[in-house]
Amino acid sequence: MERFEAIVVGGGLAGAAAAYRMAKAGVKVLLVERGSYGGAKNMTGGRIYTHSLEALIPNFRETAPLERKVTKERISILEGGKATTVEYEAEPAKPEDESYVVLRSVFDKWLVDQAAAAGAVVVNRIQVDALLKEGEKIIGIRCGKDTMLADVVVLADGVNSLLAERAGLRAPITASEVAVGAKEVYTFNKGVLEERLGLEANDGLAWLCMGDITHGLMGGGFVYTNKNSLSLGVVVGLEHIGEADATIEDMMNEFMSYGPIARLLKGGKLVERSGHMVPEAGYKAVTTLSGDGFIIVGDAAGFCINMGYTVRGMDFAIASGMYAADAIIKAKKLQDFSAGALRYYDILVADSFIGKDLKTYRHFPEFLNNPRIFQKYPAMVNGIMGDVFTVNGSGAKPLVPKLLKRATGVGLVNLAMDALKGGRAL
C-alpha cells in the first residue's frame, strides 16, 4: 500500500491551499475529494479578499478564474417595499486590499489543479467514510473497504464535518453556531451588467442587503457580479428559524421582488440554485484545531466571521491551509507528528489575522442576534428617509421632531442600549 506523509480530506480552498504548499515543499501529499472535481460540492455568496491567496500564490491574477474585482460596494436597508442604499466606489489602494467575486466550482478547481501541478496526488469521487485511529492518534483514513495511512491527516471537509464530529475530535455544531444560505446564479447577455450597474468591463459590485426580508432573523440578502452573471441569495441564522413565519424560499422571493433587485434581474436566466451552511459564530465556534496526527482547517475549524455587512471565510480558509502546511513541513523535519508538534499550527493561527480578527469580532454575533436590528431599525431608517424626501404641501415640520418620532418607534432606551452594545461588540 502506498503511504503518504499527509492526507488532505476535501478539495476546497483550505484543503487545496494546504496540499499546494506541502507539495511545493516536497511533502508527499494526497488530496481526497468526494466531488467530481474540487469545488463540485462547494459554493460561496461571492467575494474573496485575496490577501491570503496572494501570500500563497503571488502571481494568482495571471491564471486564477476571477470573475470581477470589487470596486463598488452597496449596502441597502430594505423594508416595507422601500430601500435606502449607500454606495461606495473606489479602486483598491494596494494589491493586498483587493477582493474578487468568484464562483467556487471554477475557482476551487483551479486551486486544486495548482496543487496537483505542484506535485500533490489528487483523487476525486472518493468519499472518506472515517478516520483511522490508534488510541487517540489519527493514523489515516478509510474509504469504503480501502484504508490509507499517513503521518498526518488534514481535515478540510467543510462546515458540515462529519469526520471530525464522528471521530470525537470536535463537539457537534449547533443551530446557534451556523446560518444557512440559498443562492441562485443568473446569466445575462454580455454588457447588460455593466450598463445596469454602471461598471467598467472587469470591475464588480458587492451588494449586501438587510431588513424585513429575513422576517426578524439574523441575516440578509446579497448580490455579487460575476463576468456575465449575478450571484444572488439570502443567508439566515438557524437558531430561531423554526419560529419564523416564512421559509428561506419565501425570503428569497421577497428579496428578489424588491424594486432595485427585480429590475437588475430582469431577463436573467437561472443556471444554478445552491445552498450551504455558514459557520457564523466566529471565535466561540472554534474548538479543536489540531491533535495527535491531525489538523483541522477552514470551515471545518469554524474559521468564519459575520461582520454584519458581510460573512467572511475564504481568506481564512486559504491562510489556515497554509499554516497547516507550515506546521506539517516543520513536523516532517523533526519527524514528530504528535499533538505537541502540531500545536505549532494553533500558534500560527492565533498569531495571525485569523486569530486576531476572530477575537475582534467575537461579540458581534450576539449583537446581531436581535430582531430589532432586522425589523425596527430598517423601518426607522426608511421612515426618516421618507420624511426627509417627501414634500406634499401638507406643511413642512422641523427635522428634529421628525427624527425623534421615528426613533420612538424603536424605543429610545432600546436604541441607546443597542448602540452601546454595537459599540462594545466592535
Partner 1 sequence: MMNLEEKLGVNKYYVNEGHPHIEIIHDYPDMKEKMKLVNACPAGLYTLNEDGTLAFDYAGCVECGTCRVLCGNTIVTKWEYPDDTKGVEFRQG
Which residues are at the interface with partner 1 (CB under 8 A)?
34-36, 39-44, 103-108, 125-127, 144, 159-160, 162, 172-175, 178, 180-182, 184-185, 229, 231, 236, 238, 241-244, 246-249, 253, 256, 270-277
If the CB atoms of residues 269 and 397 are measured against partner 1, the closer one turns out to be: 269
- The span from the CA of 99 to the CA of 108, in Å, is 16
Closest distance between partner 1 and the C-beta of residue 41, in Å? 6
Whether the Cβ atoms of residue 201 and residue 193 lie closer than 8 Å to each other: no
Tell me, what DSSP letter sits at residue 95? Answer: G
In angstroms, give the least distance from the CB of 88 to partner 1. Answer: 27
Question: Which of 14/331 has CB closer to partner 1?
Answer: 14
Task: Assess contact for 389 and 399: CB atoms under 8 A.
Answer: no
Closest CA to 305 of 346, 353, 362: 362
Considering the complex, state which of residue 54 and residue 272 has its C-beta at the smaller distance from partner 1.
272
> How many other CB atoms are there within 10 angstroms of residue 31's CB atom?
29
Cβ-proximal residues to 367 (8 Å cutoff; 6+ apart), any chain? 373, 418, 421, 422, 425
Cβ(279)–Cβ(177) under 8 Å?
yes
- Placement of cell 427585480 in the chain: 262
Minimum CB distance to partner 1, residue 345 (Å)? 25
Contact between 64 and 107 (Cβ < 8 Å)? yes
For the CB of residue 40, give the shortest distance to partner 1 in the complex, in Å: 5
Contacts of 336 (CB under 8 A, 6+ apart): none
Q: Are 90 and 267 in contact (CB under 8 A)?
A: no
- R_g (Cα) of the chain, nearest Å: 23
Write out the DSSP string of 3-67. Answer: -EEEEEE--SHHHHHHHHHHHHTT--EEEE-SSSSTTTT---SSEEETHHHHHH-TTHHHHS---
> What is the Cα–Cα distance from 296 to 316, expressed in whole angstroms?
12
Shortest distance in whole angstroms from residue 30 CB to partner 1: 16
**Nearer of residues 85 and 247 to partner 1, judged by Cβ:** 247
Closest CB 185 distance from partner 1, rounded Å: 4
Provide the minimum distance between the beta carbon of 238 and partner 1 in the complex, in angstroms, as a whole number: 6
CA-to-CA distance for 245 and 227, rounded, in angstroms? Answer: 36
Least distance in angstroms from the C-beta of 304 to partner 1: 15
Is 210 within 8 Å of 306 (Cβ atoms)? Answer: no
Nearer to partner 1 (CB atom), residue 222 or residue 345: 222
Residue closer to partner 1 by CB (options 130, 425) is 130
Nearer to partner 1, 55 or 244 (CB): 244
Residue type, 1: M
In the complex, least distance from residue 223 CB atom to partner 1, rounded to whole angstroms = 15
Name which of 123 and 399 has its Cβ closer to partner 1. Answer: 123
- Smallest distance from partner 1 to CB 254, Å: 11
CB closer to partner 1 out of 10 and 383: 10
Our CB check for partner 1 shows the closer of 277 and 403 to be: 277
User: Chain-centre distance of CA 34, in angstroms?
Assistant: 21
Cβ distance to partner 1 smaller for residue 77 or 163: 163
**283: Cβ contacts below 8 Å, ≥ 6 apart:** 305, 358, 359, 361, 362
- Least gap, CB of 203 to partner 1 (angstroms): 20
